[in-house]
Structure 1
Amino acid sequence: MEQIRYAIVGFGGIAENRIAKEGFALDTRRFNQQDLPMVLVGATDIDPKRKTAATALGLHWYDTYGQMLDDDTIDAIYVATSNSTHFPVAMKALQAGKYVLVEKPMTTSLEDANVLCEYALSQGLSVSVNLMMPKNAYNIKARELVRSQVVGPLDYAVIHMEFLYGEDPLEAATWRCAVPDELGGPIGDVASHCLDMAEFLSDRQICSIRCVYYPKTLRIAVEDGALIIYGMQDGTRGCVRVGFNQPRGGSFATMDNLGYELYGRDGVIRGYGTTFQLSGHADEPMRIGLEVKTAVSEESISLDHVQNIYQAQIAEHAHSIRNNKPMDGRQGLRNVAMVLACHESARAGGKEIVV
Structure 2
Amino acid sequence: MVSNGGTNGSTTGRMGASGHAGQPGRPLRVAQIGCGQIAPQHLRAYAETPLVEAVVVMDVDPVAAQEAAAAAGGVPWTTSFDEAIRRDDVDVVSIATPHHLHAPQVVAAAEAGKHVLCEKPLTTSLEEADRMIAACRNSGVRLGMWMVMRYTSAARQARALLRAGAIGEIVNIRLPDVHDKVRDYYQRGVGGRGRPTDWRGARAASGGGALIMNAIHQIDALRFITGLEVRRVSAEWVSFTGLADVEDMINVVLKYDNGAIGTIDTANYAPGGGEAHVLRIYGSRGQLQTARGSSLKAYVEEPFAGGKGLPAIPAREWTDVPAEDMGSSRTLVLEDFARAIASGTQPPVTGEDGRASIEVVLAAYASAERGQTVALPLAVPAAALLRSP
What is the Cα deviation at residue 150 of structure 1?
Answer: 2.8
Which residue of 2 is the match for residue 280 of structure 1? none
SS at match of 1:161: strand
Output the CA distance in 1 between the equivalents of 2:146 and 2:198: 20
- Residues 160 and 194, structure 1, Cα contact 8 Å, conserved in 2: no
Q: 1:243 to 1:325 in 2, by over 3 A?
A: same
2:289 aligns with 270
Question: In the TM superposition, what is the alpha-carbon distance from 1:195 to its structure 2 partner?
Answer: 1.5
**Secondary structure at 2:322 match in 1:** coil
User: What is the CA-CA distance between 1:176 and the residue it aligns to?
Assistant: 5.3
Q: Deviations over 1:45-96 (max 9, x none)?
A: 0111111232232132124222212310110100101000001111111111
Q: How does 1:34-53 map to 2 (within 5 A)?
A: 34=50, 37-50=51-64, 51-53=66-68
Identical-pair percentage:
22
Please say if residues 212 and 350 of structure 1, whose CA atoms lie closer than 8 Å, have aligned partners that are also in contact: no
Contact 2:27 2:52 (8 Å CA) reproduced: yes
**CA–CA separation in structure 1 for the residues paired with 2:61 and 2:369:** 35
1:201 to 190, 213, 225: 225
Q: Which residue of 2 aligns with 1:283?
A: none
- In the other structure, the counterpart of 2:306 is none
Structure 2 gaps, min length 5: 1-24, 190-195, 302-315, 378-389
C-alpha separation in 2, matches of 1:139 and 1:98: 30
Task: Give CA-to-partner distance per residue, 1:283-312, whole Å, 9 cap, x none.
Answer: xxxxx2211235731111222431321112
Give TM-score, length-normalised by structure 2.
Answer: 0.78
Amino acid at match of 1:53: A
Contact 1:175–1:184 (CA under 8 A) maintained in structure 2: no
Shift of 1:177: 4.0
Q: After superposition, give the CA deviation of every residue in 1:157-201 in whole Å (9 maximum; x if it has no partner).
A: 112321023523744874454201212511111221121122112
Equivalent residue, structure 2, for 1:351 = 373
Query: Contact 1:124/1:326 (CA < 8 Å) preserved in 2?
Result: no
* Larger Rg computed on CA atoms: 2
Aligned twin of 1:89: 105
Alpha-carbon separation, structure 1, partners of 2:351 and 2:169: 31
Question: What secondary structure, in the 3-state scheme, does the structure 1 residue paired with 2:38 have?
Answer: helix
Corresponding residue SS for 1:223: coil
Query: Using a 3 Å threshold, how does the CA distance of structure 1 residues 219 and 66 change in structure 2: closer, same or farther?
Result: closer
Q: Distance in 2 between matches of 1:140 and 1:183?
A: 30
Whether 2:328 is the aligned partner of 1:308: answer: yes
Give 2:43's aligned amino acid. Answer: A
SS at match of 1:313: helix
Task: Name the CA distance, whole Å, in 2 between partners of 1:209 and 1:103.
Answer: 24
Residue identity in the other structure for 1:306: M
- Pairing 1:311-350 to 2, within 5 Å after superposition: 311-327=331-347, 329-350=351-372
- Cα drift, residue 246 of structure 1: 2.0
Query: TM-score by structure 1 length?
Result: 0.85
Does the alignment pair 1:56 with 2:71? Answer: yes
Secondary structure of the 1:155 match is strand
Q: Secondary structure at the match of 2:120?
A: coil
In the alignment, the residues of structure 1 paired with residue 210 and residue 199 of structure 2 have an alpha-carbon distance, to the nearest angstrom, of 9
Over aligned residue pairs, what C-alpha RMSD do you find? 2.2
Structure 1 residues 223 and 304: alpha-carbon distance in aligned structure 2, compared to 1, 3 A threshold: closer
**Structure 1's 130 and 56: CA in aligned 2 closer, same or farther, altered over 3 A?**
closer
Partner amino acid for 2:260? T
> Counterpart in 1 of 2:172?
156
Aligned-partner Cα distance in 1 for 2:356–2:284 = 30
Q: Does 1:70 align with 2:86?
A: yes
Deviating more after overlay: 168-177 vs 124-133? 168-177
Residues 179-328 of structure 1 mapped to structure 2, 5 A cutoff: 179-181=202-204, 182-214=206-238, 216-217=240-241, 219-248=243-272, 257-274=276-293, 288-293=294-299, 296-327=316-347
Residues 190-199 or 99-108, more deviating? 190-199
1:145 corresponding residue in structure 2: 161
Partner of 2:212: helix, strand, or coil? helix
Give, in whole Å, the separation in 2 of the partners of 1:147 and 1:293.
15
Structure 2 counterpart of 1:13, which letter?
Answer: Q
Change in 2 beyond 3 A, CA 1:149/1:290 = same
SS at match of 1:230: strand
Listed as ranges, the gaps of 5+ residues in structure 1 are: 275-287
Distance 1:215 1:71 in 2: 44
AA at the equivalent of 1:150: A
Q: Is the 1:218–1:224 contact (alpha carbons within 8 Å) kept by the matching residues of 2? A: no
